[in-house]
Amino acid sequence: DVKVTQSSRYLVKRTGEKVFLECVQDMDHENMFWYRQDPGLGLRLIYFSYDVKMKEKGDIPEGYSVSREKKERFSLILESASTNQTSMYLCASSSHPPGGLGVGNEKLFFGSGTQLSVL
């Protein structure tokens, strides 16, 4: 089974701090994603990556950056944390990008999530 591991389950940070959220997957997946999940809003895509050193902005990239130096690791960075970034952050990976084959290989495997509180 694919395992997607997020470094922390809970984090508490102060406004203005730089925050690193780490995600590692063990199935050699090309594609990795960072989402945030807020009640009533579903999942919103922050950034994604289809290859090492490649990154693309999602729907809500403002205030975030990412790093993908190795295939298995995708990091989300909050340059200067703000209270409106308090949320559940979910990392995901897939073997094929959306629309790639249309045969179910685009399914996402999620990590357990990091609940970030910015005070």
Residues that bind other proteins (CB under 8 A): 40-45, 90, 97-99, 102-104, 106-113
State the Cα–Cα distance between residues 3 and 93, nearest whole angstrom: 9
Q: How far is the CB of 30 from other proteins (least distance, A)?
A: 15
Residue 14 or 107: the one with the smaller Cβ distance to other proteins is: 107
Q: How far is the CB of 15 from other proteins (least distance, A)?
A: 27
Residue 66 or 113: the one with the smaller Cβ distance to other proteins is: 113
Q: How far is the CB of 68 from other proteins (least distance, A)?
A: 19
Supply the DSSP symbol for 54. Answer: -
Residue 16 or 98: the one with the smaller Cβ distance to other proteins is: 98
Name the CA radius of gyration of the chain, rounded: 14
Residue 69 or 103: the one with the smaller Cβ distance to other proteins is: 103
Best CA proximity match to 43, nearest among 119, 111, 118? 111
Supply the DSSP symbol for 41. Answer: T
State the Cα–Cα distance between residues 45 and 35, nearest whole angstrom: 5
